[in-house]
Amino acid sequence: MMQRKFLTIWISHIYNQFVIFVNKVNSSITLIKLLSKIYHFQFYYLYKLFSNAWLSTIVKNVVLFFSKNLQFITKYAKLNIISYPIFRLLVFFYGFFHNWGITIIFVTILVKIIMYPLTRLQYVSTLHMKALQPEIQKIKNQFCNDSRVINKKILSLYKFKKINPFFSFLSIMLQIPIFLSFYYVLVSSVELKNAPFIFWITDLSSYDPYYVLPICVILSILLTQYHELSYNNIIKKKNFLCIMPFLCTFFLFWLPSGLILYYITSNLMTFLQQWIIRRNFFKNNKYN
């Protein structure tokens, strides 16, 4: 029986011999019943039935020591195939840093570096499409009454310039599962319970008591957004850019500090990678 970060296990050494019933009496009491098959005992004979019980927080290394069959006892929604390797990566580097906050920052940077080729592919494709906006606008003005012709002309333009619009979404679609996997790992891992980072952050599984980290997330989002848009677009979308990060403020304030730390690092790495890609793109001044 598993409740968020806590686990109750009963393992019998005689397989298929027991049935366990779990009845919730009320919000604070759960009754566990163990029903075995019928045994016929003879006088003067000694019988031994072995089973193990475990009541604990879900600390993976301890649980695996109890039974190797419990490797995937923590369910990261439908993303176990990605979440579990990320968790093992965090545990591995924690052995070097002995600080979960630094470990989260390092692993986030490492994952962003690994994903950089896909990020570059997506962002360069986006820049190519933005560079073609004047020509696309001319097509729309020329064939304003025929959407079929407009779409055909735009696709022909992409083909002529050797641009695949699909690349603009490919990287994002591939990175969403990684983002969600980090979320599930950091929210459900009991290893972050009472784990300190620096200064006032003494529990990465709890929210920042002074709300410094959520404010840093908002600033990192604003930084990335302003970098993404050209000067003219900033003027047009100024209000939208200012409002959007603050719409998430209420939710950010109550998220675990470890998760907020991941968001900050991920946003700053995204900003740095986009700045490098954008600089090289306009420096070369050609589609490659």
Same-domain status, 96 and 51: no
- Whether 108 contacts 269, CB under 8 Å: yes
Task: Tell me the average pLDDT across 193-216.
Answer: 88
Task: Tell me the average pLDDT across 101-128.
Answer: 90
Query: Radius of gyration over alpha carbons of the chain, in Å?
Result: 27
pLDDT tens for each residue of 142-180: 877 778 888 888 888 888 887 877 777 776 787 788 888
- Alpha carbons 137 and 117: distance in angstroms, whole number: 30
Sequence-ordered strand ranges (E) for the chain = 2-3, 6-12, 18-24, 30-36, 51-57
- Whether 203 contacts 257, CB under 8 Å: yes
Same-domain status, 236 and 175: yes
Contacts for 97 with CB less than 8 Å, ≥ 6 apart: 103, 106
* pLDDT on residue 232: 45
Same-domain status, 182 and 245: yes
Same-domain status, 124 and 247: yes
pLDDT tens for each residue of 116-130: 988 888 888 888 888
Q: Give the pLDDT band of residue 93 (cuts 50, 70, 90).
A: very high
**Residue 279 predicted with pLDDT over 50:** yes
Same-domain status, 179 and 106: yes
> Is 269 within the bounds of a domain?
yes
Range of the domain at 32: 2-67
Same-domain status, 263 and 184: yes
Structural domain ending residue among the three candidates 67, 91, 123 = 67
Same-domain status, 192 and 271: yes
pTM as predicted: 0.74
- Alpha carbons 14 and 52: distance in angstroms, whole number: 11
pLDDT tens for each residue of 232-252: 454 455 555 566 666 666 777
Token pair belonging to 196: 């300190």
Same-domain status, 52 and 87: no
> Is 146 within the bounds of a domain?
no
- Alpha carbons 273 and 120: distance in angstroms, whole number: 8
* pLDDT on residue 188: 80
* pLDDT on residue 105: 96
Neighbours of 11 (CB within 10 A): 15
Same-domain status, 102 and 228: yes
- Alpha carbons 58 and 7: distance in angstroms, whole number: 6
> Is 222 within the bounds of a domain?
yes
Same-domain status, 271 and 183: yes
How many domains does one find in the chain? 2
**Residue 112 predicted with pLDDT over 90:** yes
